[in-house]
Chains A and B, each alone.
Chain A
């Protein structure tokens, strides 16, 4: 059964139509990517999924639960965490406090310290900087913190919005490798990317968004070979 099922959602900013009927499925344990140009509606789709934006039509299901009308903070207990575009770490809080905020809803102290260890092992740079203000981290470290913070809630589904944004190629590789590692532990990943080449390499299935509609979908490796996509997004 599909883990996330999005059915014909329409989203508006005021009177401007941003998404006009998008449907897709994410299977349990998969990495699915949503690619497309600037303004195609990728971030809007994720924001609608996590409840930041309301739906005008359509529905979103996680397993059997209809989450169409959920507020953003209700999604964490459902096992979904959204790493927003531009990282959005709490710049004036310490790295440690940022991680603590990721685990805000949890009360299981023992499990929590195990997950904290896991995150700090995955991103050793964060351990060195636990007491530092998060705003003083470099771009790559901030992205690691954003992902680490999200993992602190022990999610089943990770929604990632442009994790490669503004990072040097070496760091992009590092971030994508950690996404693969996270996925191997059984976390379903939904990856929104402009860097279509990298995204299609690690994803199993992909959707191409264009003007608020799904223009194309398919197995990631085949999409990567598709001539149109090569021309439009892979250069």
Chain B
């Protein structure tokens, strides 16, 4: 606060600063106005709000799982793995070929836990294999190249994976099997929600706890954190950086595999393009939480999922926008832009300039 009373501060204010203040003010006004409007209107019941939050947390858990892959790879390689969304798709898609017969034979209903483990493992293994292939072919040859080559290569890999799956399996939408247990409505008081939602949230939290323990407590996890901080020095300690990078892609791929299966059971369908939007949303979540920061990606995922789900009704409905629910992507990407402008280091991140 002190600095605003200093005349020197006001002398140094530029047009850019003023524009940014105006933008901040505009965002705050829109959000506050919309929120007040919606709440005065009282169009949504408590049950509906609860639905929004539960669905938001469900999506948030999936975003968080995928965001971890982006953030860990960025932490080690300083590279955005744009193919990660499609790696997520390959897992869900390949697991379909396991889930579908399991569903038809009735095994899925009878032994749900075992089936889910088999399906998840299939997806994880697929994702890991594809992720390692992408790393080996697209990223490793360019590692010492200081240009846009790795980025272009990542985008190329993303298209390549999408269209190979399209070529192999066609562009039709395939339905994941229905599971009675997941569709069952659970009630707490007057609130009710399908079973799949707490299942996804708990599965996501469980996987993330596992990942966090691996990264914080194991020797390879510590080596990963050391490499992300200073690759040269890590190699001077005898850490084989290539092995650390492979380890990172394995962890990221596994999380994407679990996320893919959960996503497929929420929406009950898979197709070759399904990785694109969750991928970009998860990338936004990673940036939101502070790219390179693992707890940040988890927080960012849940935050993005919830705001995206609650936001349209809360902020936009009160402004008189018709059918605001169609604008949830707008909310998600507006948040990404806002973060990039106002807090480039993300919610939990450190300023990039300190690390240069």
**20 A-B pairs in the complex with CB atoms less than 8 angstroms apart:** A52-B236, A71-B235, A72-B235, A73-B235, A73-B236, A73-B238, A73-B239, A75-B238, A76-B238, A81-B236, A88-B230, A93-B225, A93-B229, A100-B219, A100-B222, A101-B234, A102-B237, A104-B219, A104-B223, A153-B238
CA distance A36 to B354 in the complex (A): 30
On chain B, the residues within 8 Å of A81 by CB distance are: 236-237
Which of A75, A76, A88 has a CB less than 8 Å from the CB of B233?
A88
On chain A, the residues within 8 Å of B230 by CB distance are: 88, 90
Point out residues on B near A: beta carbons under 8 Å: 219, 222-223, 225-226, 229-230, 232-241
Chain B nearest CB, measured from A111 CB (Å): 16
Which of A52, A75, A97, A105 has a CB less than 8 Å from the CB of B232?
A52
CA distance A100 to B241 in the complex (A): 16
Contact assessment for B225 and A92 in the assembled complex, using a CB-CB cutoff below 8 Å:
yes
Contact assessment for A77 and B236 in the assembled complex, using a CB-CB cutoff below 8 Å:
no
Q: How many residues of A contact B (CB 8 A)?
A: 24
User: Which of B230, B236, B237, B241 has the most CB atoms of chain A within a 10 A radius of its CB?
Assistant: B236
Q: Interface majority SS on B: helix, strand, loop or mixed?
A: helix
A 65-103 binary contact with B (CB < 8 Å = 1; else 0) = 000000111011100011010001011110001001110
On chain B, the residues within 8 Å of A84 by CB distance are: 232-233, 236
Which of A50, A52, A88, A104 has a CB less than 8 Å from the CB of B239?
A104
CA distance A81 to B239 in the complex (A): 12
Contact assessment for A76 and B237 in the assembled complex, using a CB-CB cutoff below 8 Å:
yes
Beyond the given pairs A72-B236, A73-B237, 14 more chain A to chain B contacts, judged by CB atoms under 8 angstroms and listed by A's residue number, are A52-B232, A52-B236, A73-B236, A75-B238, A77-B238, A81-B237, A88-B230, A88-B232, A90-B226, A92-B225, A97-B225, A100-B219, A101-B226, A101-B239
Does A42 sit at the interface, judged by CB under 8 A? no
CA distance A101 to B222 in the complex (A): 7
Does A149 sit at the interface, judged by CB under 8 A? yes
Point out residues on A near B: beta carbons under 8 Å: 50, 52, 71-73, 75-77, 81-82, 84, 88, 90-93, 97, 100-102, 104-105, 149, 153
Which of B229, B238, B240, B241 has a CB less than 8 Å from the CB of A90?
B229
CA distance A73 to B238 in the complex (A): 4
Contact assessment for B225 and A105 in the assembled complex, using a CB-CB cutoff below 8 Å:
no
CA distance A52 to B234 in the complex (A): 11
CA distance A90 to B219 in the complex (A): 14
CA distance A81 to B238 in the complex (A): 9
CA distance A8 to B233 in the complex (A): 26
Nearest residue in A to B222 (C-beta to C-beta)?
A97
On chain B, the residues within 8 Å of A104 by CB distance are: 219, 223, 237-239
On chain B, the residues within 8 Å of A101 by CB distance are: 222-223, 226, 234, 237, 239
Chain B nearest CB, measured from A197 CB (Å): 28
User: Which of B230, B238, B241 has the most CB atoms of chain A within a 10 A radius of its CB?
Assistant: B238
On chain B, the residues within 8 Å of A88 by CB distance are: 230, 232-233
Nearest residue in B to A152 (C-beta to C-beta)?
B237
Nearest residue in B to A77 (C-beta to C-beta)?
B238
On chain A, the residues within 8 Å of B233 by CB distance are: 84, 88, 90
Chain B nearest CB, measured from A92 CB (Å): 6
CA distance A82 to B236 in the complex (A): 6
On chain A, the residues within 8 Å of B222 by CB distance are: 93, 97, 100-101
On chain A, the residues within 8 Å of B240 by CB distance are: 71, 73
Chain A nearest CB, measured from B278 CB (Å): 30
Nearest residue in A to B223 (C-beta to C-beta)?
A104
Contact assessment for A93 and B226 in the assembled complex, using a CB-CB cutoff below 8 Å:
yes
CA distance A82 to B234 in the complex (A): 11
CA distance A4 to B238 in the complex (A): 19
Nearest residue in B to A82 (C-beta to C-beta)?
B236
CA distance A88 to B225 in the complex (A): 14
Contact assessment for B238 and A149 in the assembled complex, using a CB-CB cutoff below 8 Å:
no
Contact assessment for B229 and A105 in the assembled complex, using a CB-CB cutoff below 8 Å:
no
On chain A, the residues within 8 Å of B237 by CB distance are: 73, 76, 81, 101-102, 104, 149, 153
Nearest residue in B to A91 (C-beta to C-beta)?
B229
Nearest residue in A to B241 (C-beta to C-beta)?
A73
On chain A, the residues within 8 Å of B238 by CB distance are: 73, 75-77, 104-105, 153
